[in-house]
Amino acid sequence: MNYLLTIYFGNSGKALFLGKTKIMSYYPLTSIPDYYSIDALLTEEHKLIRDSVRSWVESFVMPKIDEAAQNHTDIPGLMKELGNIGALGPYIPEEYGGPGLDQISYGLIMQELERGDSAVRSAASVQSSLVMFPIFEYGSEEQKRKYLPKLASGDIIGCFGLTEPNHGSDPSSMESKFTDQGDHYLLNGAKMWITNSPVADIAVVWAKGEDGKVRGMILERGMEGFTTPTTHNKWSLRASKTGELVFNNVKVPKENLLPNVEGLKGPLSCLNSARYGISWGVIGAAMDCYCTAVQYTKERKQFGKPIASFQLQQKKLAEFLTEITKAQLLCLQLGNLKNAHKASPAQISMAKRNNVKMAIDIARESRQMLGGMGIMGEFPMMRHAANLESVITYEGTHDIHLLITGMDITGINAFG
Ligand code: TGC
Ligand code: FAD
């Protein structure tokens, strides 16, 4: 675990610009808000982990992220770096290569990564919650020993295939199918919108067996009939690779089936973990926008005064801070529930829905506060706002999470 704690570089100061390259945040890191003294509720280890990842984002992500997003490419070496700082599978025990941290540490790591960019948090949350989690929870001992240490170090990259071209919000209708061929399974079908599929070494894929039950299996790049075409032309999450998974009579060895789960609860339980991480992560994106807006409006003068002196700007800043603070408290208590194994899927849905909407609203509104500058790559708002369009869609859309809450309140399923 200690490697997470040894990368602390100290707080940085204001933004430095080298030509068009932003090399640090535009605001002092000391201005990142903790309005309700939530730090007092964290352990020293939580704070050290949070500050370490914050510094790593400052030095590794911030200098590269605008260029990566503008060029629609990923940050070179990102997964290995995430592995080095312990951000891949933070709650996976040390026995399997993870740092063995608690759920609040996991959340704080996601928050700091997404202050950098949603693509960076996505890379960590897919690897951690959607690939390592199912292998850890539902895999055989051989599968755990074979894949988890390499996933934790970033030596291999994983992806998660649930969504299909014809079935997104409704995964129970999936068409991908496998048949038992005696010494192997034969898999056919396709998955769409898969984070990191074009660069993944392995894929955790969910498909139906002949009995109609959903099962998970681990596919490896290079299996005959298994291809991973890239999805081009995204306006969102441009620093992350997205693609398809296509299965054309893929022979999957029997030992690659996840033995310990069947039914839709398999993939949906992985989503609980990823949605929890997103709830924290988007607070980071909101903080980046809020801190930038505070700094800019205090510096930018119009009508002979800093624009921060106008009531309309102050109203926006006050509302941003209020919403960020509420989101922080929601996540902290959800983290406590998760540590006690008491967080219900519906509680996680509420946090994912509320916090992503909070962050996208702050990104859009704060972009306006910078006027024309708000559309530029030197400032983060436009990039966060565009990224959050994906975040509000994936891991269950905003409306699907509302329906999950509605079902929890009424006991009535309003999906179909
Ligand atoms: P329903 O009949 O309600 O449930 C079927 C079975 O699943 C169980 N279950 C859950 N188990 C664990 N956790 C949850 N959150 C669960 N939700 C349901 C349920 O108890 C039942 O179990 P059993 O034993 O009785 O069979 O299912 P439904 O077909 O009515 O659908 C429910 C619905 C709509 C809520 C669900 O399917 C859903 O969440 N849809 C949204 C799909 C989604 O979120 N897809 C995400 C794909 S992955 C992704 O987006 C990665 S983005 C990665 C990144 O870059 O960060
Ligand atoms: P649809 O399900 O077609 O929904 C379209 C609209 O209809 C939405 O507004 C939705 O809310 C609404 N709707 C649907 N059903 C109802 C209903 N019953 N009542 C009211 N409204 C409804 N998936 C993976 O498996 N793995 C990944 O790694 C992954 N990464 C992704 C990365 C990106 C960048 C994106 C954009 C998506 C990713 N996804 C991934 C897929 C994502 O989970 C789906 O896009 C999402 O679940 C929505 O499915 P859909 O796009 O098919 O939309």
Instruction: Identify the nearest ligand to the CA of 161 by its number.
Output: 2
Q: What pLDDT, on a 0 to 100 scale, did the predictor assign at position 373?
A: 96
pLDDT in tens, 286-334: 999 999 999 999 999 999 999 999 999 999 999 999 999 999 999 999 9
* Nearest atom in ligand 2 to 191's CA: 25
Residue 8 pLDDT more than 80?
no
Do 234 and 72 touch, CB atoms closer than 8 A? yes
Is 247 domain-assigned? yes
Q: In the predicted model, what is the mean pLDDT of residues 274-281?
A: 98
Take atom 50 of ligand 2 and give the residue whose Cα is closest. 168
Query: Do 300 and 226 share a structural domain?
Result: no
Query: Do 203 and 92 share a structural domain?
Result: no
> What is the full DSSP assignment across 357-374?
HHHHHHHHHHHHHTGGGG
How far apart (Å, rounded) are the C-alpha atoms in residues 160 and 205?
6
19 Ramachandran zone, left/alpha/beta (phi>0; psi -120 to 50): left
Q: What pLDDT, on a 0 to 100 scale, did the predictor assign at position 23?
A: 52
DSSP 8-state assignment for residue 292: H
Question: Is 389 annotated as catalytic?
Answer: no
How far apart (Å, rounded) are the C-alpha atoms in residues 321 and 367?
16
Query: Residue 246 pairs with which residues in a beta bridge?
Result: 190, 227
Q: Probe ligand 2: pick from 72, 130, 163, 197, max atoms within 8 Å of CB?
A: 163
Residue 361 pLDDT more than 80?
yes
Q: Probe ligand 1: pick from 265, 269, 356, max atoms within 8 Å of CB?
A: 265
Q: What pLDDT, on a 0 to 100 scale, did the predictor assign at position 309?
A: 98
Instruction: Identify the nearest ligand to the CA of 392 by its number.
Output: 2
Residue 10 pLDDT more than 90?
no
Query: Do 277 and 406 share a structural domain?
Result: yes
Confidence of residue 345 (pLDDT cuts 50, 70, 90): very high
Residue 13 pLDDT more than 90?
no
Domain final residue, candidates 122, 153, 184: 153
How many angstroms separate the alpha carbon of residue 174 from the centre of ligand 2?
13
List C-alpha distances in Å: 200 to 79, 100, 258, 342, 386: 11, 24, 18, 33, 24
> Would you say the C-alpha torsion 126, 131, 134, 137 has a positive or negative sign?
negative
* Nearest atom in ligand 1 to 396's CA: 44
Query: Residue 161 pairs with which residues in a beta bridge?
Result: 205
Do 230 and 280 touch, CB atoms closer than 8 A? no
Q: Which residues line ligand 2 (CB under 6 A)?
A: 126, 159-163, 168-169, 193-195, 237, 242, 390, 393-397, 399-400, 403, 415
How many angstroms separate the alpha carbon of residue 275 from the centre of ligand 1?
11
Cβ–ligand 1 distance for 169 under 6 Å, the answer yes
**CATH code at position 294:** 1.20.140.10
How far apart (Å, rounded) are the C-alpha atoms in residues 131 and 96?
13
Query: Do 164 and 148 share a structural domain?
Result: no
Q: Probe ligand 2: pick from 247, 397, 405, max atoms within 8 Å of CB?
A: 397
Confidence of residue 217 (pLDDT cuts 50, 70, 90): very high
And the tokens for 171? Answer: 């995964």
How many angstroms separate the alpha carbon of residue 107 from the centre of ligand 1?
21
How far apart (Å, rounded) are the C-alpha atoms in residues 195 and 382?
21
> Which domain covers residue 337, as residue numbers?
265-410
Do 257 and 207 touch, CB atoms closer than 8 A? no
Query: Do 167 and 110 share a structural domain?
Result: no
Domain final residue, candidates 256, 277, 294: 256
Is 271 domain-assigned? yes
Phi, psi angles (nearest 5°) of residue 11 = -70, 145
pLDDT in tens, 366-395: 999 999 999 999 999 999 999 999 999 999
* Nearest atom in ligand 2 to 398's CA: 11
Burial of residue 367 (number of CB atoms within 10 Å: 0-12, 13-18, 19+): buried
Query: Do 115 and 167 share a structural domain?
Result: no
Is 321 domain-assigned? yes
Instruction: For the chain, state the CA radius of gyration.
Output: 21
Report the chain's terminal Cα–Cα distance, integer Å: 45
**CATH code at position 180:** 2.40.110.10
How many angstroms separate the alpha carbon of residue 406 from the centre of ligand 1?
15
Cβ–ligand 1 distance for 268 under 6 Å, the answer yes
Take atom 35 of ligand 1 and give the residue whose Cα is closest. 404
Q: What pLDDT, on a 0 to 100 scale, did the predictor assign at position 2?
A: 38
Confidence of residue 416 (pLDDT cuts 50, 70, 90): confident
Is 314 domain-assigned? yes
* Nearest atom in ligand 1 to 125's CA: 56
How many angstroms separate the alpha carbon of residue 97 from the centre of ligand 1?
28
Q: What percent of the chain has pLDDT over 70?
A: 94
How far apart (Å, rounded) are the C-alpha atoms in residues 288 and 114?
9
* Nearest atom in ligand 1 to 162's CA: 47
pTM as predicted: 0.95
How far apart (Å, rounded) are the C-alpha atoms in residues 362 and 34?
17
Query: Do 278 and 312 share a structural domain?
Result: yes
Q: What pLDDT, on a 0 to 100 scale, did the predictor assign at position 322?
A: 98
Instruction: Find tokens 């002092």 and name the residue.
Output: 28
Instruction: Identify the nearest ligand to the CA of 407 by its number.
Output: 1
* Opening angle at CA 261, ends 351 and 104, nearest 5: 30
And the tokens for 183? Answer: 């010494």
> Would you say the C-alpha torsion 394, 92, 138, 402 has a positive or negative sign?
negative
How many angstroms separate the alpha carbon of residue 361 from the centre of ligand 2?
20
Q: What pLDDT, on a 0 to 100 scale, did the predictor assign at position 301?
A: 97
Query: Do 301 and 215 share a structural domain?
Result: no
Is 381 domain-assigned? yes
Split into its structural domains, the chain has a count of 3
pLDDT in tens, 144-168: 999 999 999 999 999 999 999 999 9
Is 10 domain-assigned? no
Q: Probe ligand 1: pick from 214, 268, 273, max atoms within 8 Å of CB?
A: 268
Residue length of the chain: 416
> What is the full DSSP assignment across 145-202?
HHHHHHHHHTSS-EEEE--BTTBSS-GGG---EEEE-SSEEEEEEEEEEEETGGG-SE
Confidence of residue 24 (pLDDT cuts 50, 70, 90): confident
Is 6 domain-assigned? no
pLDDT in tens, 74-105: 899 999 999 999 999 999 999 999 999 999 99
Query: Do 193 and 97 share a structural domain?
Result: no
Query: Do 200 and 117 share a structural domain?
Result: no
Task: Please give the single-letter amino acid code of residue 169.
Answer: S
How many angstroms separate the alpha carbon of residue 40 from the centre of ligand 1?
35
pLDDT in tens, 159-209: 999 999 999 999 999 999 999 999 999 999 999 999 999 999 999 999 999
How many angstroms separate the alpha carbon of residue 109 from the centre of ligand 2?
25
Domain final residue, candidates 208, 227, 256: 256
Query: Do 276 and 360 share a structural domain?
Result: yes
Q: What pLDDT, on a 0 to 100 scale, did the predictor assign at position 248?
A: 98
Query: Do 166 and 295 share a structural domain?
Result: no
Is 2 domain-assigned? no
